[in-house]
Amino acid sequence: MSIVYNPDRRNFLTTTAAAGAGLVLAFSMTSCVRSVPPGGRESSGFRPSGWLRITSDNHITVFVAEAEMGQGVHTSLAMLIAEELEVDFSMIEVEQAPVDNAVYGWQYTGGSTSVRDGWERFRQAGAVAREMLIAAAARAWQVPVAECRAEQGGVVHAASERRASYGELATAAAGMPVPQSIKLKERGDFRLIGKSLPRVDAVDALNGSIVYGADVKLPNLLTATIVHCPVFGGKARKIGSEKALAVPGVHKVVEIDAGVAVVADHFWAAKKGADVLDIQWDFGPHADISSESIQQLFTEQADGYTGVEQEISTALANAAQRIEAEYHLPYQAHATLEPMCCTVHIHDGVCEVWVPSQNPSSAQVVAARFSMSRVEYLAQRVKGKLLGRSLESVRVHNMPLGGGFGRRLESDYVVEAVQIAKAVDAPVKLIWSREQDIQHDFYRPASLHRLTAGLDEQGMPVAWHQLAVGVADYGPPYYKIPTSGGSTIEVDTGVPTGPWRSVSLSWNAFVIEGFIDELASLAGKDPVAYRLDLLKIPRLKAVVEMAAEKAGWGGSLPAGHYQGIAAQPGFGSYVAQVVELSVDKNKGIRIHRIVCVIDCGQVVNPDMVVSQMEGGIIFGLTATVTSAITIRNGRVEQSNFYDFPILRMGETPPIDVYIMPSEEPPGGVGEPGVPPIAPAVVNALYATTKVRIRKLPVRAEDLFS
């Protein structure tokens, strides 16, 4: 069950065997029972794998390597172990696993993969432990293993009415041979999987006791904040730091690769110091770029493109009718409510890092590379091998994340904190201002898409092509179109880009589901019926049907209300959403109801699925109707929540989420709620106004022009 991280893509590749129907799994024990993490051997008790520890005083701890960023992964993965281990969930304590690639593989939380990857691994980890505990009890009682069973945190032998807690058995269990095959529970026997158990951090979230990355406290801790060149790719040429150093509480001004940091007793002094830095910037090569110039670049690239495959261009040319449309999406910021932050202490030959990260293994690697002292650097340079610090001497504590959404897959702020820490003789906590956070993100890329369809006499598509400019992916082909495909033109605009909740589907769903809606209306067909005729994937068809039914599609609606639909497969799940809205020239767009249906296979915790759908829809709505990142003079025009507004409570429509019952293996849920909402909204706007919106976010002038 080794996990191979391919840094060129954001997916884990797992070699886990798929669950068989019989549920008797033979698997390599060397992969399930990985080496025990540091510290594990010293503590008494039973540590059958990196994911589980049972101490003799009956503390049962599940170690989750995935990052908790609101998706509930500390709860859902622990539920999987508890299910097979046969313990009450209230007995389980969950800890963030240490960053240790040897035990956990490359630690990375993204792509809605946690439950998909953990579905077998965590149940197996629980089952292996259970069998070893049972074996320990059978040996102690001198009874056949088959007469013993695990129940509520202990092993019982019914005939002799004996019971021992897991704690009592822990030490003996550690000496039992690891079983060579394990029978996982049948679905009908699940006690926990499928139940909406409360999250393990539910109470701590209500009283301020969760220690997020920004909340780290250490003796003699200093706080730093950073100013980056406002223009992407620029550098400080001359730094006037006198005024900053005169601010009471400011210790030092530090120039690092990414910008200029002010180190102080606390954040307020650091921020005041940063505000009075007098920096002359070398703006570099991107000082003139703007959203308009990027748009023009995209248009030129699209105009000059001649690479459509011969088969597709022939099919388009031979079609009875040819339709073209151009779609546009802007840059988007992640705007996690907790700004970027990282604490570093270099001491006693160790670089210690406290960081809320979706990619703590990357944090470890960059800390190893950038935390070397000059002496260490020179020593390695003499030897001819610049290896950086050893990974073992970099201790990364992954802290709870105040939001991730893809932003915290990057480790730029880790490099910065390490470089600042090298310049001071104390632990340093770097916290970005909100302005820096909005203006120095890795943005969801802006893109332009040219869609071309060839239709037959009945208006059904026979050929389809998507030219995607500015991004690396065009849409997946989930409609039955005889000849279809796409091309991409990646463009280096100078604006840093990165994964943003739902990644390529955040643009491709908008483009495909918008354009297919255009084809439906051209054919004079109902958008749901048209999709059902063309959809290839039965599970996607089923969610479309269910969403239409739950939303009362085609039924009578209040006067002025109209509906739009969109669907999208992705991350192992299938989602359809129906938006019901009305438009008033003076009051704007009012969304009355959103119906969302997800088929995410076997559900571990239904309420958490619902909450991820609600959250994904609201995240997607912000990008649909309220916000965008725009560029002028090489810099981001927005800087805080007053000009990059995120959806507020009063702007949030009622959302009804339905989960399709399924026994398929689990699909992802963190991201699939996002993609359909933008196209469902613009499709509903078309139904209402007959104006086709092909550019996000939706602006009144586009609707009422």
Q: Is 442 helix (H, G, I), strand (E, B) or coil?
A: coil
**Region 213-242 residues binding other proteins, contact defined as CB under 8 A:** 214-215, 217, 223
Residues 466, 474 contacting (CB under 8 angstroms)? yes
Interacting residues of 280 by C-beta distance below 8 A, sequence separation 6+: 236, 237, 238, 239, 240
Q: Is 598 helix (H, G, I), strand (E, B) or coil?
A: strand
Residues 333, 644 contacting (CB under 8 angstroms)? yes
Q: Select from 141-149, 262-270, 463-471, 623-631 the region that touches other proteins (CB under 8 A).
A: 262-270
Kindly state the smallest distance separating residue 42's Cβ from other proteins, in Å: 31
Binding mask 240-259 for other proteins (x = CB under 8 A): --------xx----------
Binding mask 519-558 for other proteins (x = CB under 8 A): ----------------------------------------
**Region 64-123 residues binding other proteins, contact defined as CB under 8 A:** 68-72
Q: Select from 33-41, 365-373, 482-490, 645-653 the region that touches other proteins (CB under 8 A).
A: 645-653
Residues 659, 550 contacting (CB under 8 angstroms)? no
Instruction: Give 217 or 381: the residue with its C-beta nearer to other proteins.
Output: 217
Structure tokens at 567: 């669907």
Paired residues of 620 in beta bridges: none
Residues 419, 369 contacting (CB under 8 angstroms)? no
Interacting residues of 114 by C-beta distance below 8 A, sequence separation 6+: 66, 71, 73, 76, 77, 670
d(CA 631, CA 413): 22
Kindly state the smallest distance separating residue 204's Cβ from other proteins, in Å: 8
**Region 336-365 residues binding other proteins, contact defined as CB under 8 A:** 336-339
> Strand (E) positions, 137-180?
148-151, 154-157, 162-165
Instruction: Give 304 or 650: the residue with its C-beta nearer to other proteins.
Output: 650
Instruction: Give 56 or 433: the residue with its C-beta nearer to other proteins.
Output: 433
d(CA 567, CA 479): 11
Instruction: Give 289 or 431: the residue with its C-beta nearer to other proteins.
Output: 431
**Region 587-606 residues binding other proteins, contact defined as CB under 8 A:** none
Instruction: Give 127 or 269: the residue with its C-beta nearer to other proteins.
Output: 269
Selected binder of other proteins within 650, 663, 690, 701 (CB under 8 A): 650
**Region 623-642 residues binding other proteins, contact defined as CB under 8 A:** 640-642
Selected binder of other proteins within 607, 637, 664, 702 (CB under 8 A): 607
Kindly state the smallest distance separating residue 608's Cβ from other proteins, in Å: 8
Kindly state the smallest distance separating residue 649's Cβ from other proteins, in Å: 4
d(CA 346, CA 331): 37
Output the CA–CA distances (angstroms, integers) from residue 49 to 104, 139, 399, 656, in the order listed: 10, 22, 22, 40
DSSP at 444: B
Kindly state the smallest distance separating residue 404's Cβ from other proteins, in Å: 8
Binding mask 415-454 for other proteins (x = CB under 8 A): ----------------x-xx--------------------
Sort strands 461-469 and 447-455 into parallel, antiparallel or unpaired. antiparallel
Kindly state the smallest distance separating residue 408's Cβ from other proteins, in Å: 11
DSSP at 231: S
Selected binder of other proteins within 9, 187, 648, 699 (CB under 8 A): 648
Instruction: Give 170 or 216: the residue with its C-beta nearer to other proteins.
Output: 216
Q: Select from 155-163, 261-269, 303-311, 630-638 the region that touches other proteins (CB under 8 A).
A: 261-269
Selected binder of other proteins within 57, 90, 268, 318 (CB under 8 A): 268
The reply on whether position 403 binds other proteins by CB under 8 A is yes
Binding mask 373-402 for other proteins (x = CB under 8 A): ---------------------------xxx
Binding mask 176-215 for other proteins (x = CB under 8 A): --------------------x-xx-xxxxxxxxxxxx-xx
Residues 5, 15 contacting (CB under 8 angstroms)? no
Structure tokens at 527: 């958008």
Instruction: Give 173 or 344: the residue with its C-beta nearer to other proteins.
Output: 344
**Region 119-148 residues binding other proteins, contact defined as CB under 8 A:** none
Instruction: Give 460 or 621: the residue with its C-beta nearer to other proteins.
Output: 621
Q: Select from 96-104, 413-421, 446-454, 613-621 the region that touches other proteins (CB under 8 A).
A: 613-621
Structure tokens at 70: 């609101």
Instruction: Give 211 or 320: the residue with its C-beta nearer to other proteins.
Output: 211
The kind and range of the H/E element at 531 are helix 527-534
Selected binder of other proteins within 615, 667, 668, 679 (CB under 8 A): 615
Tokens 């002028």 identify what position? 632
> In sequence order, what DSSP letters do the residues of 137-196 get, joined into one string?
HHHHHT--GGGEEEETTEEEETTTTEEEEHHHHHHHHHTSPPPSEEEPPPGGG-SSTTS-
Kindly state the smallest distance separating residue 269's Cβ from other proteins, in Å: 8
Kindly state the smallest distance separating residue 693's Cβ from other proteins, in Å: 22
Instruction: Give 56 or 336: the residue with its C-beta nearer to other proteins.
Output: 336
Instruction: Give 72 or 679: the residue with its C-beta nearer to other proteins.
Output: 72
Residues 426, 222 contacting (CB under 8 angstroms)? yes
Helices H, strands E: what count in the chain?
A: 19, 30
d(CA 333, CA 369): 28
Output the CA–CA distances (angstroms, integers) from residue 672 to 83, 426, 512, 647, 694, in the order listed: 26, 43, 15, 19, 21
d(CA 95, CA 155): 25
Kindly state the smallest distance separating residue 552's Cβ from other proteins, in Å: 20
Q: Select from 63-71, 310-318, 526-534, 626-634 the region that touches other proteins (CB under 8 A).
A: 63-71
Which amino acid is present at 374?
R
Measured between alpha carbons, how far apart are the two ends of the chain, in Å?
A: 57
Paired residues of 61 in beta bridges: 53, 93
Kindly state the smallest distance separating residue 148's Cβ from other proteins, in Å: 37
Kindly state the smallest distance separating residue 210's Cβ from other proteins, in Å: 6
Instruction: Give 210 or 534: the residue with its C-beta nearer to other proteins.
Output: 210
Instruction: Give 53 or 199: the residue with its C-beta nearer to other proteins.
Output: 199
Residues 109, 73 contacting (CB under 8 angstroms)? yes
Q: Is 567 helix (H, G, I), strand (E, B) or coil?
A: strand
Instruction: Give 9 or 266: the residue with its C-beta nearer to other proteins.
Output: 266
Kindly state the smallest distance separating residue 610's Cβ from other proteins, in Å: 9
Size of the site for other proteins (CB under 8 A): 65
DSSP at 340: P
Which amino acid is present at 191?
R
Selected binder of other proteins within 110, 616, 676, 697 (CB under 8 A): 616
Note the Cα 199 to chain centre separation in Å: 18
d(CA 357, CA 231): 26
Interacting residues of 700 by C-beta distance below 8 A, sequence separation 6+: 588
Residues 658, 362 contacting (CB under 8 angstroms)? no
The reply on whether position 500 binds other proteins by CB under 8 A is no
Residues that bind other proteins (CB under 8 A): 68-72, 196, 198-199, 201-212, 214-215, 217, 223, 248-249, 265-269, 271, 335-339, 400-405, 431, 433-434, 607, 611, 614-619, 640-642, 646-650, 652, 654-655
